[in-house]
Amino acid sequence: MQEWSLFRITGQPDDIGYRLGELARPVMSAYMAQSAAWQRVSQWRGHPFVESLRRAAEAHFPALVAELEGMAAGLGWSAQDVFLWNCRGELIHNAPDGCTTLAAVAGNARFIAHNEDGDPYLRERCFLVDVQPAGKPGFVSFYYPGSLPGHTFAVNRAGLVQAINNLRIRVPAAGVPRMILARAVLDTRSLDEAVALLREAPRASGFHHTLGCVGDARLLSVEATVQRCSILSPAMGVAQRFGHANHLIHDGCDREAQIVTDSSRDRQARVDALLPSLRTPVTDDALLRVLRDEAPAGLPIFRDDPLDPDDENTLATALFRLEADGVAMQVYRQGHCAFDTFIPKTAAAQATF
């Protein structure tokens, strides 16, 4: 099994986007040609709702719109089409982005573990990137070709870890696209700053964010959707370990229309059954075993069926261990550890007054 290379990218937003586009260019045409999701998304060209999403993105995160425009130049695509693709969660409510995330506290140890589930075509065609924007903490992230980093799994140099789960919200709204919000979180320097961003920005659809940060004892489960931003942590009564698939589960979620697929329902039920049975203290190996579970019945947590009903397979598994001075990060591919590093916390939290 080939080790996973890390591509380092620095500069201003358009420079970063251009290099991301260059990385994706060799696979993008074939990827889009076979993508049923792109066929549906591309039908939204010129729609007033897309223009409202762009206006919100430009008003709140102009640097990230510039990053997308740089990506378009690097890809040789139109900026309109790259923006459309990065709004797929708002435009097609059953977008093919899955994932299962676990979080656990074990004494002084804190873990976040994540299966990244996506289009099976992208197996061996995704990247790990080390992005260092000028004046920001910088981060290491999984990168889907043509999509802003951040809506998968990542850690920044302020010690902030984020893992994202797709939510299939039926009724989007004019606001900031969720993939831009997830990328913006990686520019924050603390859990409080990340949560404030998710609470205050107008949200166009929804993601689940699992968040942790070096120097902060909390692990947060955040369902940030059009209607609400629900935040739970162990200190608020959640067990010292929790998991999340691809549908809303926090109290009060029944008031928001969503799609719950059979796979998401089965994976959530299996996670809820397995996590309490793990020995205490929880270990990283135990969490990885849960993410590799193939289930005695129903649809599995680890997804490798070419006929998966959501058209998704597990492309990578990430394990983050939050330590006193940084984050240990491992990424597995087909059961093999293909990337192993330690990212020290080097960016200080910003003062608030």
- Euclidean distance between CA atoms 341 and 353, whole angstroms: 35
What is the tally of structural domains in the chain?
2
Write down the pLDDT at residue 238. 56
Write down the pLDDT at residue 210. 98
**Residue 132 clears pLDDT 70, i.e. is over it:** yes
The rounded percent of the chain whose pLDDT value lies above 70 is: 96
- Over residues 76-103, the mean pLDDT reads 93
Please check whether residues 148 and 36 belong to one and the same domain.
Answer: no
Domain end point (choices 30, 58, 91) = 91
Domain end point (choices 60, 91, 122) = 91
Please check whether residues 140 and 162 belong to one and the same domain.
Answer: yes
Please check whether residues 45 and 84 belong to one and the same domain.
Answer: yes
Please check whether residues 82 and 105 belong to one and the same domain.
Answer: no
Please check whether residues 331 and 254 belong to one and the same domain.
Answer: yes
Domain end point (choices 91, 118, 144) = 91
Please check whether residues 38 and 66 belong to one and the same domain.
Answer: yes
Q: How many CA atoms lie within 13 A of 78 on its CB side?
A: 6
Write down the pLDDT at residue 30. 97
**Residue 206 clears pLDDT 90, i.e. is over it:** yes
At 46, list the tokens.
């010129």
Q: For position 158, which CATH number holds?
A: 3.60.60.10
Please check whether residues 78 and 209 belong to one and the same domain.
Answer: no
Structural domain span for residue 295: 100-344
- Euclidean distance between CA atoms 243 and 113, whole angstroms: 9
In a domain, 353, yes or no: no
Taking only the tens place, the pLDDT of each residue in 150-205 is 999 999 999 999 999 999 999 999 999 999 999 999 999 999 999 999 999 999 99
In a domain, 189, yes or no: yes
Instruction: Give the amino acid at 188.
Output: T
In a domain, 1, yes or no: no
Please check whether residues 146 and 34 belong to one and the same domain.
Answer: no
- Over residues 264-291, the mean pLDDT reads 95
Please check whether residues 82 and 129 belong to one and the same domain.
Answer: no
Please check whether residues 47 and 157 belong to one and the same domain.
Answer: no
For 229-240, the DSSP string reads EEEE-GGGT--S
The SS3 call for residue 141 is strand
In a domain, 54, yes or no: yes
Please check whether residues 261 and 322 belong to one and the same domain.
Answer: yes
- Euclidean distance between CA atoms 166 and 96, whole angstroms: 9
